[in-house]
Amino acid sequence: MIRRSVLVACAAAVLLVAGAQGQTQFSPRPNILIIQADDLGYGDLSVYGQTKFSTPSLDRLAREGTRFTNYYAGSTVCAPSRAALMTGQHTGQVWIRGNAQLPLRDEDFTIAMSLKQAGYRTALIGKWGLGRPGTSGQPDRKGFEYSFGFIDQQHAHRQFTDHLYRNAEPVPIDLEKDYVNDLFTREAATFIEKDDRRPFFIYLNYTVPHAELRVPDDSLEPFKGKFPEKPFVNATADGRATGPEDTVSLGYRSQPTPHSAFAAMITRMDRDIGRIVELIDKRGAGRQTLVLFTSDNGPHQEGGGDPAFFNSSGGLRGIKRDLYEGGIRVPMIARWTGTVPAGRVSDHAWAHWDLFPTLAELASAQTPKQLDGLSMTRALRGQAQPGHQFMYWEFHERGFQQAARTGNWKAVRLKNGAPLELYDLAKDPAEQRDVASEHADVIARFETFFKGARTDSPTWPIK
């Protein structure tokens, strides 16, 4: 009987691994690569509808994986969005709810901490923005055994600078030659190639296409003359070295061809992402590596940015700093060869705060009890996936604004005490018709939800 049981168990295990038509149904703990763009809108990739330039590497990633059409950033601006991703909490609960220079606290447990405890080697490359050196939010105190890039989100406004940080220590780079995003690509490749048997977790944060709109000439030249241009001029910031004294108050540097620069920045990033994915495949790790691509919020209009010209919101209403769809709905592409279905398009709704429990489940890692996120491993595998009853956002730079989604209903409140706007995203994804007066029952459900959606914060009070 014992021998027969063992044979049955072995046969079952073989079936789980082989699956139907050779497709992997159960995989060991994967390598994990999260690639996050900065201020990239829902419509800024050709696979999401961009027509003025193409993104062939990310289009290919979508063909080889699954493209999600109802994925949301953690917030409509940088720091709270990234805090939501790291901690698995939405902006009604997370410590950082706006773009103030606040660090994550000692008690804020991150996905990097969880994966490191589970035996992953962990790297932060690119923009951080959740804690300066010497604070509780310093990357190595939040689970990253290696880090390289911008620690301060204001410093990250520069695409060329005279220093970055390696493991929270400043390192000089060539202000005239070193395009920071090229360095980020190189660092990611080096970490992937490192001789280490542990699975890796890389959190790769490009500063593209966030202003300032600057890019090396070899990427810029092919786009010059292709678009009408309105030069962006800021003499105050021009010619200044970006040392420690350089603050955001100087603004973004001038760009005579901002449309060309914007397209060039994204296409260069797309090229480099293709190189990283190609490296993974050449190492035979495509079936062991989950690659996720997303953005931290909707498109900007600073520094010469022109989301209207590029249709960067993909036909959705709003841009960065709006809680309408264009400010928070962003691309999400997932590829894990043999596990994530290839060529699939999913309308399942999920968000940044779901990444923590999702990745923790895949990695057999610890998940804190108090998370707003849900594991979306079934959605990644193309299976039926339970969703959120409600999804929630709040925003503090314009007073106090709130938004929530349940099913296809989306509610937006533009200031404290104001009546709710209501949109049916199935019929009106661009949120053009407020139907609140026609659905008192749905409004009542949202009002009840909003009463308990957030915890009070002395740092982020209701104004």
pLDDT digits (tens, 9 = 90+) for 210-252: 999 999 999 999 999 999 999 999 998 887 655 544 555 678 9
φ, ψ of residue 187 in degrees (nearest 5) = -65, -40
d(CA 455, CA 460): 10
Peptide bond into 209 cis (omega under 30): yes
Give mean pLDDT, residues 411-423.
Answer: 97
φ, ψ of residue 291 in degrees (nearest 5) = -110, 125
Q: Which residues contact 432 (CB under 8 A, 6 or more apart)?
A: 317
Statement: residue 14 has pLDDT above 70: no
Cβ burial 78-106 (10 Å sphere, 16+ → b, else e):
bbbbbbbbbbbbbbbbbbbbbbeebbbee
**Contact call for residues 227 and 259 (beta carbons, < 8 A):** yes
Adjacent-strand bridge partners of 293: 35, 333
Q: Tell me the domain boundaries of the chain.
A: 29-389, 398-463
Give mean pLDDT, residues 147-175.
Answer: 95
Statement: residue 4 has pLDDT above 60: no
The predicted pLDDT at position 10 comes to: 37
pLDDT grade for 23, boundaries at 50, 70 and 90: very low
The mean of the pLDDT values for the chain is 92
The predicted pLDDT at position 236 comes to: 87
What CATH number matches the domain at 29-389, 3.40.720.10, 1.20.1250.20, 3.40.50.2300, 3.40.50.150?
A: 3.40.720.10
Statement: residue 114 has pLDDT above 70: yes
Strands 66-72, 332-335: pairing is: antiparallel
Between 13-27, 89-103, 355-369, 381-395, the lowest mean confidence (pLDDT) is in: 13-27
The predicted pLDDT at position 247 comes to: 56
d(CA 222, CA 344): 32
The predicted pLDDT at position 82 comes to: 98
Q: Which of 47, 85, 70 lies closest to 346 in space, CA to CA?
A: 70
Which one-letter amino acid corresponds to residue 85?
A: L
Q: Which residues contact 187 (CB under 8 A, 6 or more apart)?
A: 123, 125, 148, 149
Predicted confidence (pLDDT) per residue in 341-393, tens digit:
999 999 999 999 999 999 999 999 999 988 999 999 999 999 999 999 999 99
pTM: 0.93
Predicted confidence (pLDDT) per residue in 254-282, tens digit:
999 999 999 999 999 999 999 999 999 99
**Contact call for residues 445 and 411 (beta carbons, < 8 A):** no
Predicted confidence (pLDDT) per residue in 164-220, tens digit:
999 999 999 999 999 999 999 999 999 999 999 999 999 999 999 999 999 999 999
The predicted pLDDT at position 240 comes to: 65
Give mean pLDDT, residues 405-414.
Answer: 98
Q: Which of 329, 334, 332 lies closest to 316 in space, CA to CA?
A: 329
d(CA 367, CA 355): 11
d(CA 98, CA 96): 6
In the sheet that holds 401-406, the strands lie side by side as: 391-395, 401-406, 409-413, 421-424
The predicted pLDDT at position 249 comes to: 65
Q: Which of 104, 75, 82 lies closest to 205 in space, CA to CA?
A: 82
Q: Which of 280, 262, 218, 215 lies closest to 61 in space, CA to CA?
A: 280
φ, ψ of residue 281 in degrees (nearest 5) = -70, -40
Residue for token digits 């109802």?
70
d(CA 319, CA 325): 8
The predicted pLDDT at position 13 comes to: 37
The predicted pLDDT at position 59 comes to: 98
R_g (Cα) of the chain, nearest Å: 22
Task: Identify the residue with better confidence: 1 or 278.
Answer: 278
- CATH classification (class only), 398-463: alpha beta
d(CA 37, CA 51): 19
